[in-house]
Amino acid sequence: MNGRAARGFTLVETLVALALLALALLLGLGLVLQHPRIVRRLDAQRAALHTLEATLEAVRTGALPLASQELPPVGSHRIAVSLRVSPEGFPEGLYRVSARAVYSSEGRPRERSVETLIWRPPG
């Protein structure tokens, strides 16, 4: 080292450190910019699941008939629900109910489905 004492960082070390810092900041910025899109997608998914739960609860309480049907779109996400009802066979009065919600988020069609069993006394 020509007899000089090394003090501080070299120019190359400083440039490498700045490049790594810039890369980390750009990756973090990408996550921050995607946040609103992710929130909108999760909000649409939450609304679809809430609509499915409300529809199944209406079928359980008798507000909706226990029959296969297509319900009109509702809400700001235009969630369309379809119900498929089929008898399970045993015990008598037990039905399998499949509920499917179709909605759009970020301009892409999406769907969620839930399946449950409902018993109604025969007669």
Handedness of CA 30, 32, 37, 39 (dihedral sign): positive
Q: What is the pLDDT of residues 98-112, one digit of tens each?
A: 999 999 988 889 999
Indicate the number of domains in the chain. 1
Q: What is the pLDDT of residues 53-95, one digit of tens each?
A: 999 999 999 999 999 999 999 888 889 999 999 999 888 999 9
- Residue with the bigger pLDDT between 29 and 51: it is 51
Report residue 113 as tokens.
């489905």
- The answer to whether residue 4 sits within a structural domain is no
Which residue matches tokens 């190359």?
A: 12
- The answer to whether residue 2 sits within a structural domain is no
What does pLDDT average to over the chain? 89
- The answer to whether residue 17 sits within a structural domain is yes
**Statement: residue 37 has pLDDT above 90:** no
- The answer to whether residue 69 sits within a structural domain is yes
- The answer to whether residue 6 sits within a structural domain is no
- The answer to whether residue 98 sits within a structural domain is yes
Residue 34's pLDDT is 79
d(CA 75, CA 82): 15
Question: Mean of the pLDDT values across residues 25-30?
Answer: 86
Residue 116's pLDDT is 95
Report residue 16 as tokens.
């490498």
The residue range of the domain holding 109 is 11-119
- The answer to whether residue 1 sits within a structural domain is no
**Statement: residue 97 has pLDDT above 90:** yes
- The answer to whether residue 93 sits within a structural domain is yes
* Structural contact between residues 48 and 105, judged by C-beta atoms closer than 8 angstroms: no
User: What pTM value is reported for the model?
Assistant: 0.71
